[in-house]
């Protein structure tokens, strides 16, 4: 594996960090704690918050999604710790409740937009929720596979069907060497 090549001389201006942490709850459900922060490397004058020192968050937003093994959202909690406007703080949680009952999977982005798109929700919270699906897919199947005694979930099947991630990435192409090597029952020769 390799890293990016050295950059030309430059100076930092803005940093956006997103983190997704997964937890297995005592009740068998899963929590995905999502955090988004935006900071500037120089002081910035905000319209309503005044002068923010370098490094103080412009945004510090959190979402906790509780999901089941089928990736269906059971509960949503939000927190706007830092935001540009006071109005960002209070109403963000109410629209997010429209996500309860939705299932992460095909069409996920469209479901999010239908529930909390546009002025019906917060752009940054939508971004977190969309990407939380990848954290759920990394967490739940891997844990359940190893809990069931398998070394990994590479060729875990349900009813003879390929795992959900096959055919969704160039590495997991049904015509590729990884599927041929690790899950030959799903390999398809290129035509």
Predicted confidence at residue 151, as pLDDT, reads 64
pLDDT level of residue 148 (50, 70, 90 thresholds): low
163 vs 136 pLDDT, higher one: 136
The rounded distance, in Å, linking the Cα atoms of 94 and 109 is 19
pLDDT level of residue 191 (50, 70, 90 thresholds): confident
Check if the beta carbon of residue 66 is closer than 8 Å to that of residue 29. Answer: yes
DSSP state of 86: G
The rounded distance, in Å, linking the Cα atoms of 84 and 189 is 53
Q: Among 104, 87, 85, which residue's Cα sits nearest to residue 34?
A: 104
Check if the beta carbon of residue 163 is closer than 8 Å to that of residue 140. Answer: no
pLDDT level of residue 164 (50, 70, 90 thresholds): confident
Q: How much of the chain exceeds pLDDT 70, in percent?
A: 93
What are residue 64's phi and psi, to 5 degrees? -120, 120
User: 166 pairs with which residues across the strands?
Assistant: none
Q: What are 73-125's pLDDT values in tens digits? A: 999 999 999 999 888 876 567 889 999 999 999 899 999 999 999 999 999 99
The long-range contacts involving 164-168, CB below 8 angstroms and separated by at least 24 positions, are: 164/105, 164/137, 165/137
pLDDT level of residue 152 (50, 70, 90 thresholds): low
Q: Among 110, 136, 103, which residue's Cα sits nearest to residue 33?
A: 136
Question: Can you give the C-alpha Rg of the chain in angstroms?
Answer: 20
């Amino acid at each position: 594996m390799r890293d990016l090549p050295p950059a030309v001389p430059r100076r930092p201006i803005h940093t956006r960090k997103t983190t997704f942490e997964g937890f297995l709850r005592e009740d068998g459900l899963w929590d995905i704690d999502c955090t988004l922060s935006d900071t500037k490397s120089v002081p910035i004058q905000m319209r309503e918050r005044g002068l923010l020192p370098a490094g103080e968050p412009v945004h510090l937003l959190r979402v906790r999604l509780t999901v089941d093994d089928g990736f269906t959202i059971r509960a949503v909690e939000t927190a706007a710790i830092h935001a540009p406007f006071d109005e960002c703080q209070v109403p963000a949680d109410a629209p997010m409740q429209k996500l309860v009952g939705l299932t992460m999977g095909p069409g996920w982005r469209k479901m999010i937009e239908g529930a909390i798109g546009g002025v019906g929700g917060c752009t940054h919270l939508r971004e977190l929720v969309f990407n939380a699906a990848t954290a759920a897919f990394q967490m739940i199947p891997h844990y359940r596979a190893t809990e069931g005694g398998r070394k990994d979930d590479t060729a875990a099947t349900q009813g003879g069907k390929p795992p959900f991630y096959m055919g969704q990435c160039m590495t997991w192409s049904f015509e590729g060497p990884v599927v041929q090597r690790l899950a030959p029952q799903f390999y398809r020769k290129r035509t």
